[in-house]
Structure 1
Amino acid sequence: MDDSKSGNKALDYIIKDMVSTVSNSKDEIFQIGEDSRTEFEKLSKELETIKVNVATLIDDGDELERKVRLSRLRLSEVSKKFLQYSEDEIRKVYEQTHGLQMDLSMTREKEKQLRDRRHEIELRLRSIDETIEKAEGLAGKISVVLNYLTEDLKDVTETLKTAKEKQQFGLQIIEAQEEERRRLSREIHDGPAQALANVMLRSDLVERTFNARGIDEALEEMRNVRKLVRSALYDVRRIIYDLRPMALDDLGLVPTLKKYLATVEDYNQTTIEFVSMGSSRRIDSKYEVAIFRLIQEAVQNALKHAEARTIEVKFELKASSTTIVIKDDGKGFDPSVKKEKSFGLVGMRERVEMVNGDLDIHSVPGEGTIVTIKMPLNS
């Protein structure tokens, strides 16, 4: 008994130490990402200034070259007819030509230096962008590990006493934490975060466009900015809805699915046919959430990856089981070929397995995809 308690304390100590180490690593990676973003913004502004200065120097250099050519012609004329000009006049022409040549040389040298700096900044920006992407990827992975350590491994020795507790432990991981948080982080980064960054950049262009090209093109740029804002607002609302659709608790599964699919259909200009068969009764909340998420993931996969124009969703609720079929006319894929970072299919399989269900995916390249899910409804 004492050995068991000692082992438990040692395990708790190891977990706490791991949590501390992972948490510190996450903070360091986050700081690297923030510092990189700050440097990226600073260099981007410098690059814009350099581009303007290079254009100005090119124009100045071209004008100086024209003046040098004229001055050289004047100097050649004076040299041929030096007896007709005084020594002072000859000296002035020579000094003027020499001065223009020096100005041209300095201007071209400044232009070269700015071009070199521009090339250096462009290379640096590409490197920083890769660093930011890697930092975000690592931060996401570390967040998954940290959540796993702090939430799901809390009092792990007590949680893993029985097979039933282990099953609930795995279900909690899939349904409540890692997959949802990772998906949410990815969607925020790819959706609203990118859109808002574009809004910031495009808004800076409005004033420059107005000054350079006039009010009509500036208004067109403002209309583009409004489109970006509208798209970002939709993504934020969709992500909030994805966290936990309130209608699922209030109205039930079928009405929530109808509302969700209608919204997706309107926004994506896609035809979605929904058919509900069998009983209309309410079922356990965990099954309603699981079914909603599975249909949601399958529909999003059909839109984003298969580029489907028509999607059919059939849901049948029986006394002790349910069957779900999602069919699309998209470009399909080869299920035997595993793709890197295919988080959607992995999450669906894990979610189905944790409720003792079966998932079958039939797809042929160019012929669409059929996803069939059969799930027992245990008490």
Structure 2
Amino acid sequence: MKETRIEEKALDQVIEEMIDNVTNSKDEIFHIGEESRGEFEKIQKDLQETKRQVISLIDEGDKLEQRVRLSRMRLSEVSKYFDQYSESQIREVYEQTHQLQMDLSVKREKEKQLRERRNDLERRLKSLESTVQRAEGLVSKISVVLNYLNEDFRNVSEALEDAKEKQEFGLRIIEAQEEERRKLSREIHDGPAQMLANVMIRSDLVDRTFRERGVDEALAEIKSVKQMVRSALYEVRRIIYDLRPMALDDLGLIPTLKKYLHTVEEYNDNLTVPFTNIGKERRIDSKYEIALFRLVQEAVQNAVKHAEATEILVKVELKGKAAILIIKDNGKGFDTAVKKDESFGLLGMKERVDMLEGELTIDSKIDEGTVVIIQVPLER
């Protein structure tokens, strides 16, 4: 009992430290946001003044340009009727025209500098506006986290009544992790590891075949080894995708599906996997993206492994509040009324669709292929 109280006290202390750290982070982000807002307002005023100066200089430059034009006309007249003007008059016209041109050049250069300054201020203003918005968004999110820590997370120690429950809770997590590791280890052992072992054996045969049977049979052996390496690489990539496709978080559902289906097509000879995305490509909630990806992945893998298909059509439509997936293959099909060992993949798909409150329809006939239709409602 005493050990239980010590553990609960330690857990409370950890929670308190987390709350303090999150609160300090919130204050710092708020301070950054306020500084950026102040700088934003200052630059906004500076930008307005710069714009006013630019407009004023443009107006002054236009007027000065008109005076230069008139002075040039006057200079042209003096040059044409040179003998009708005195030396002082000619000098005055020349000097006046030259001075006006110099003043115009100065005005235009100053106008250019102010334009550049205005553009620079606009860029800085846009950057600061983005910083302020991000800071406000982070403060809002951190507030939600603080509410969670203050209201819900404090109940963890109360939910774990004694040390025995805490230990059982930890053991369940460890058991789940170990199960995933066993599954991954088994997949690697039965897949890529076996293939690579065969590659090593077959690679030794290449040299012997070359010496004993000639170049042609050695090249055929090399081609076979190359295919085995491709298969092993495909299995490794498939296992990585099974764990978690990294592109899903960065790019979203549609680009990840394109990449995955291209990989399937690349590592399976005599197989084409056309993909169609109906409607506008957009991001949805991550829990739906991973679920929909897994459903397509399972359906495609079933067609590759069991149906012996040469073409697998995949269509995805994200419209409004629903997602529709269609996976159609031209494989050997099966009798949906007969349960087989490999139907566990279909059972897993059904369970995943049920969790999403969607509908799964499988239409298949022997020697006529299979069509899988999945409809899943999407929350806004």
1:329 corresponds in structure 2 to 330
Aligned twin of 1:43: none
**Which residue matches 1:256?**
256
Paired AA for residue 174 in structure 2: T
Write the letter of the residue equivalent to 2:234.
Y
Unpaired stretches in structure 1, ≥5 consecutive residues: 20-147, 153-175
Q: Tell me which residue corresponds to 1:200.
A: 200
Q: Do the aligned partners of 2:296 and 2:327 also contact (CA within 8 Å) in 1?
A: yes
Q: Distance in 1 between matches of 2:294 and 2:363?
A: 20
Q: Summarize the Cα distance change of 1:151–1:284 in structure 2 as closer, same or farther, 3 Å threshold.
A: farther
Q: How does 1:218-257 map to 2 (within 5 A)?
A: 220-257=220-257
Find out whether 1:150 has 2:178 as its counterpart: no
The 2-side partners of 1:301 and 1:7 are apart by 46
CA deviations on 1:105-164 (whole Å, 9 max, x unpaired) are xxxxxxxxxxxxxxxxxxxxxxxxxxxxxxxxxxxxxxxxxxx55266xxxxxxxxxxxx
2-side partners of 1:349 and 1:260: how far apart?
Answer: 22
Residues 67-107 of structure 1: per-residue CA shift (max 9 Å, x gap): xxxxxxxxxxxxxxxxxxxxxxxxxxxxxxxxxxxxxxxxx
CA RMSD, 1 decimal: 3.4
SS of the residue aligned with 2:273? strand
User: What letter is aligned with 2:279?
Assistant: G
Q: CA offset at residue 350 of structure 1?
A: 2.1
Q: Report deviation, 1:260.
A: 2.0
d(CA) in 1 for partners of 2:311, 2:321 = 30
| Whole-angstrom CA distance in 1 between matches of 2:291 and 2:297 | 10
Alignment-mate amino acid for residue 248 of structure 1 = L
Name the CA distance, whole Å, in 2 between partners of 1:302 and 1:330: 7
Deviation at 1:190, TM superposition (A): 3.5
**Structure 1 residue 183 displacement after superposition:** 6.3
Question: Structure 1 residues 251, 336: closer, same or farther in 2, change over 3 A?
Answer: same
1:300 matched to 2:301? The reply is yes
* Structure 1 residue 236: Cα displacement: 2.0
2:319 aligns to what? Answer: 318
Q: CA deviation at 1:351?
A: 1.7
How far has the Cα of 1:288 moved from its partner? 0.6
Q: Distance in 1 between matches of 2:277 and 2:339?
A: 32
The aligned counterpart of 1:267 is 267
Offset at 1:256? Answer: 1.8
Q: What's the CA shift for 1:285?
A: 0.8
SS at match of 2:371: strand
Give distance in 1, aligned partners of 2:329 and 2:348. Answer: 20
Partner AA of 2:343 in structure 1: S
Look up the SS of the partner of 1:303 in the other structure: helix
What corresponds to 1:284 in structure 2?
285
Q: What secondary structure is seen at the aligned counterpart in 1 of 2:233? A: helix
Which protein is bigger by CA-based radius of gyration? Answer: 2
- Deviation, 1:230, is 3.6
Confirm or deny: 8 A CA contact 2:309 2:330 kept in the other structure: yes
1:150-199 deviations in whole A, cap 9, x for unaligned? 266xxxxxxxxxxxxxxxxxxxxxxx996x76764454234211211212
Which amino acid is the alignment partner of residue 264 of structure 1?
A: V
Give the Cα separation in 1 of the matches to 2:190 and 2:212: 32
The one-letter code matched in structure 2 to 1:245 is P
Q: Which amino acid aligns with 1:332?
A: G
Shift of the alpha carbon at 1:5?
8.4
Ranges in structure 2 where 5+ consecutive residues have no aligned partner: 1-157
1:235/1:364 CA distance change after superposition, 3 Å: same
Give the whole-Å Cα distance in 2 for the aligned partners of 1:177 and 1:283: 31
Corresponding letter in the other structure for 1:232: A
CA distance in 1, matches of 2:205, 2:266: 32
The verdict on how the C-alpha distance between 1:351 and 1:202 changes in structure 2, with shifts beyond 3 A counting, is: same
Deviates more, 1:359-368 or 1:274-283: 274-283
Q: 1:181 to 1:280 in 2, by over 3 A?
A: farther
Residues 13, 306 of structure 1: alpha-carbon distance in 2 compared, 3 angstrom cutoff: same
Structure 1 position 340 matched with structure 2 position 364: no
What is the alpha-carbon distance in structure 2 between the residues aligned to residue 239 and residue 305 of structure 1?
A: 18
Q: In the aligned structure 1, how far is the partner of 2:244 from the partner of 2:285?
A: 16
Tell me the distance in 1 between the aligned counterparts of 2:304 and 2:234.
16
Q: Verify: 1:360 aligned to 2:361, yes or no.
A: yes
Distance 2:273 2:161 in 1: 55
Q: Quick one: which amino acid aligns to residue 340 of structure 1?
A: D
Tell me how far apart the structure 2 counterparts of residues 262 and 222 of structure 1 sit (CA, whole Å).
25
Q: Match for 2:257: what amino acid?
A: L
